[in-house]
Structure 1
């Protein structure tokens, strides 16, 4: 397998017998680093013949896609990036349709069909709406990978059920396919695919033909077979696939040597070490002075004992990659530097404060209002991760910093997961647990990948511990490594540890740390809201028994029931 993704592309379009070519197509093969993190993109769009402006729609759809896709976050998955770009493009086309004759007749609006192919790492990502098509070609055989959104109402009569620009909401078909060297894909408008057969494709591609020439031959064959529509073909052949371990974004730093254990007053790369902030078997954290700016910074150096652990090295290097892409007051910020590095280390802002773990040790458990203030900010930091399709995966008191103003910041991204990076190796084994086991969601112990709900679980555990000093399942979750064992786990109500905790708050905690991720909050903001506002559903389900709410009424009721039972007994004896 090559260290780079290489491919050949051929494409051709003609207006055919029509006056205007309402098809539009394009492709983009970016340079590194975007080739690795975003891949190669191709698209074809076909305007509808009844509209005089649909060629504008097809050109806009393709041009916006090829430009805006590469402007989306590197952390996003291909699917998220493309779907958001197409949704925005569709919104623009729909607004133009609403301001044109298409407002009353969609067949005259800014409408087009659209198919796109993104090739990233060793996976092909397909997106489709309408009746353009994507095929996989193998030995001259065409395997149709997309389904036409066209409804037949009578012989020779049909209409598009879906297209871009028709409606404010766009429903896009998506599928992904694993790649192998030699795979060939064809994107075609209906002016071509309705008039060529597998034999035509086989002849066009015979003897390793040039793909541009093959595309011209297919268009010519469709015309000779009676096509009266516009005609567009794109062909792409995979020459070699990228090696998963050859990410050029990290290679430069990975080639650097591990730094020595620094001593106070040591100087390197324009920094002076002031003192050690923290040391462990996995990393060392130092307070340092940037001699050029006079700014205090924190320098994190990897443990030299782990230099032969490739997983550890990759996670260490990813920390800065992640930090550079998150902009939140509740996430530690990297210090950007233009000086060359002599060794492997990370530089971040210095937070003058303490970890949440140390704060609890020094001052004891905070009250409910203080916990809410802390959890609110932790949740905001988490949502900054989630918006970029990242998971922190290691929320615990040691990774939450509070500065002198009470601002909370998340630190340590060594366990973080990034969708856009993760999909570069789709065949990799299931994610191993990288964070602290006592705060990790149960699904990690089943070998399943994390989700937003996994981070919500960790946030719930953190909140429960701050309020009670205990864990809701004690230490049993890491030991439950099967679904049967996890079903036996029982939540210990927070009120069992502290009766002053409102029942509805306890119910919110219970939902946040459900064993089944589908039963948890779907977003950290929902959990935070329920910590502040009594949820009626919780109030009803978690209503204290009568003996707790009104002991006098309870005992009066018991006495009355006993008296009634006695009278009935006496009556029966007579």
Structure 2
């Protein structure tokens, strides 16, 4: 441990908490909790602080508050490490809401105000970011300079002559909308979580003075609550104070993958490495060398070792190390699987299944004029593979024909996970990786202009690949790879897949036009929607069944125009 009991190069916080029932003998309907894990859980999940407030009329709302906080404290840490904070926490909160709503429907369907209903506000600190999730009228605050800045908005409806009524809370409706926001943090930042019995009565200046002068944050929380009681609050009082003491300074992967292993020389065919017999080298590029090997159980595996360029580049080496970690968290017949690894490795390498087949690039060379049915079948499998990434909050980011394998059974598998962005890991980094990792011709324009990528970015690459399978060219030619700003992006013009050489159905061309739109929000909202559009023409597409020749075949259009003009010139010359 480092000075003051904090682990070096790790997130560290100080906590202060206090809670008290309102009237004497009354049950406290507030509930609060905090979890400060260590190791990989601290890096990948962060510190969680949460507060909940049950509604006053209900005799069981204290149970709802306890369930809401305890569920978040436990279930959030049980979600996959690949998920980002928003995805993981929102899923847990939605599941808790469904449970509470179900209790209410069974026990008191006609008196919801007497059921399991509560507010929930949560602060999750991870890496250099604070994530705020909120439902109801409890609040999260941040001390900014000499003032208290509210980070949440109350979900209440005004009621004349009475207290506002909760308009959004856990257990109130079948589906819950969770407010979310994130902000960067610095050492010394202070956050507060409070229920309405506190923030409706406190004096902000006194709160700041109390936190600055108190010997501990627990004392500060108790003093703030006592001041609110003296100011006339008869409600339950709960205060949580969080001070950020330290933030991680670098991206260390020792708790995720074994990055302390030595770099080995490339093995020769016939030699053995940790029980794996090397058969031959099957591929190499500037990032890695891949060997076909036989595992101790006799199965064929691919053994991948970093190339010299990767060894000398810390960022590339980190991505290489993450490939097997990512493969072990994806489960799809259309994504490369990790192979069983030895308990102890003598050096740095990753193991995956060996796929006997060919790349999509080779398939395209062998099938320059595929049928629509063949393309649609392969596209459907690609979509299933990409959906496996997106469900785990991952983006492949290098989706291209060379990174797609078709095995001997005709199954498409997405390979090369070295460029994959994992939201859960990305959030824990002090300096997020904003390098453009994909191949330029297939990379979505948002990467080049600095807009945030998303599942729609992989969709762009998918659309380009399908377009190329059908036409042998790219929808924007080389222009998409030259985009460097928003003006360049606005100039991009889609080249219709339909021309004299390619009898692509108009509605499939419409689908590809939308999937490869330069603006992410103009693409399909889900890959399943794109999958259906490749199979069934949408009603809106039918109006384009007879497109103008200029759009269907620009070359023929201008040839026709030129021929007509030439004839007109000949006629005029003849008259002269």
TM-score (norm. length: structure 1):
0.89
Residues 2-53 of structure 1: per-residue CA shift (max 9 Å, x gap): 5111111121222242421111111111121110011010111111121111
| Pair 497,463 (structure 1): closer, same or farther in 2 beyond 3 Å | farther
| Pair 139,489 (structure 1): closer, same or farther in 2 beyond 3 Å | closer
| Pair 536,153 (structure 1): closer, same or farther in 2 beyond 3 Å | closer
Shift of 1:56: 1.0
After TM superposition, the structure 1 = structure 2 runs for residues 82-97 of structure 1, keeping only pairs within 5 Å, are 82-97=89-104
Q: Secondary structure, in 3 states, of the residue corresponding to 1:337?
A: coil
After TM superposition, the structure 1 = structure 2 runs for residues 524-539 of structure 1, keeping only pairs within 5 Å, are 524-539=527-542
Partner residue of 1:209? 215
After TM superposition, the structure 1 = structure 2 runs for residues 63-462 of structure 1, keeping only pairs within 5 Å, are 63-101=70-108, 103-137=109-143, 141-154=147-160, 157-202=163-208, 204-207=210-213, 209-250=215-256, 253-291=258-296, 293-425=297-429, 428=432, 431-462=434-465
**Further displaced range: 319-328 or 136-145:** 136-145
Q: Secondary structure, in 3 states, of the residue corresponding to 2:159?
A: strand
**Further displaced range: 52-61 or 350-359:** 350-359
Residues 521-543 of structure 1: per-residue CA shift (max 9 Å, x gap): 22222222222222232222132
Residue 34 (1) aligns with residue 41 (2) = yes
**Further displaced range: 130-139 or 397-406:** 130-139
**Further displaced range: 20-29 or 514-523:** 514-523
Shift of 1:482: 3.0
| Pair 168,481 (structure 1): closer, same or farther in 2 beyond 3 Å | same
Contact persistence 2:194–2:238 (CA under 8 A):
yes
Contact persistence 2:249–2:430 (CA under 8 A):
no
Q: Secondary structure, in 3 states, of the residue corresponding to 2:255?
A: helix
Partner residue of 1:468? 471
RMSD: 2.4
Contact persistence 2:248–2:430 (CA under 8 A):
no
Contact persistence 2:253–2:318 (CA under 8 A):
no
| Pair 507,133 (structure 1): closer, same or farther in 2 beyond 3 Å | closer
Shift of 1:134: 1.6
Shift of 1:77: 1.6
The whole-number CA distance in structure 2 between the counterparts of 1:386 and 1:131 is: 33
Residues 253-277 of structure 1: per-residue CA shift (max 9 Å, x gap): 3222322222101212221111111
Residues 34-92 of structure 1: per-residue CA shift (max 9 Å, x gap): 10011010111111121111111111111111111112222222111111111111111
Q: Please list every run of 5 or more consecutive structure 2 residues that lacks an aligned counterpart in the other structure.
A: 1-6, 553-576
Q: Secondary structure, in 3 states, of the residue corresponding to 2:94?
A: helix
Q: Please list every run of 5 or more consecutive structure 1 residues that lacks an aligned counterpart in the other structure.
A: 550-574
Residues 333-365 of structure 1: per-residue CA shift (max 9 Å, x gap): 101324222222110011111111122334544
Contact persistence 1:282–1:306 (CA under 8 A):
yes
Contact persistence 1:5–1:242 (CA under 8 A):
yes
Partner residue of 1:503? 506
